[in-house]
Amino acid sequence: MKINEKGFVLIEFVIALPLIILLLYGLAQSTLMIFRAAKEQAADYVLEVEAQDFLTRVTQDLRAASYVKRGDAIGGTEIDKIEIHYHGSSTKYYEKGKIKSNDLKIFDIVDTRIYNVARAGNHGAYIYAQRKNDYHYNPITGGNFFGDTIVNKLKYSKLDDRVIHIDLEMQSIETNRIIKISTAVFMPACDEMIGF
């Protein structure tokens, strides 16, 4: 008696098909979980980097500040803007790379940086840097492809005649995680603090 081999192929296929579908479904779910975890990790990294980058920039400008002026940006009392007038090498004391011998003063106030927070769409506020008399804004936070962030709180407060305390709270749009960073900056060249 001969066994019909065509029937066995059909039965094997009917048994194997649900197992293959189950295996592919499990593989797809694992891939999605890995993708979600990588996306969350990237968003958290962007949040930390943007907060640290902003604090590094504003700290460097404040350390060279001649005077600073604080004002409310948006969000009432929780978000401030700051205008920093800082020292730098003045171009009028240089002539083709050589310092004029009769000019003893080689530093002058040459720049002003304004750190402002403005609404960006429906999600929240971003931090922008602008030089005085310049219409171009340089975005420092928000709008990153790997994870968008918003500013919930940015406060500058006076601790001493030449010390500013900065409180920053930022949030990731992707993960809703919040980072809070505070620092104090000593400004050795600061002559005046306005609006504190």
How does pLDDT run across 61-104, given as a tens digit for each residue?
A: 888 888 888 887 665 567 888 888 876 554 444 444 554 544 44
For 87, the domain range is: 5-194
52-66, 81-95, 114-128: least confidently modelled range: 81-95
Q: Report pLDDT for 74.
A: 64
| Least confident window among 11-15, 100-104, 127-131, 179-183 | 100-104
**Distance between CA 187 and CA 160 in Å, rounded?**
10
Binned at pLDDT 50, 70 and 90, residue 11 comes out as: confident
- Asked if pLDDT for residue 145 goes beyond 70, the answer is yes
Residues whose CB falls within 8 Å of the CB of residue 67, separated by 6 or more in sequence, listed in order: 85, 190, 191, 192, 193, 194
pLDDT at residue number 118: 78
Domains held by the chain: number: 1
How many residues appear in the chain?
A: 196
Q: Which of 53, 64, 42 is nearest to 147 (CA)?
A: 42
The pLDDT assigned to 94 comes to 47
The predicted model scores a pTM of 0.70
Q: What per-residue confidence (pLDDT) applies to 104? A: 45
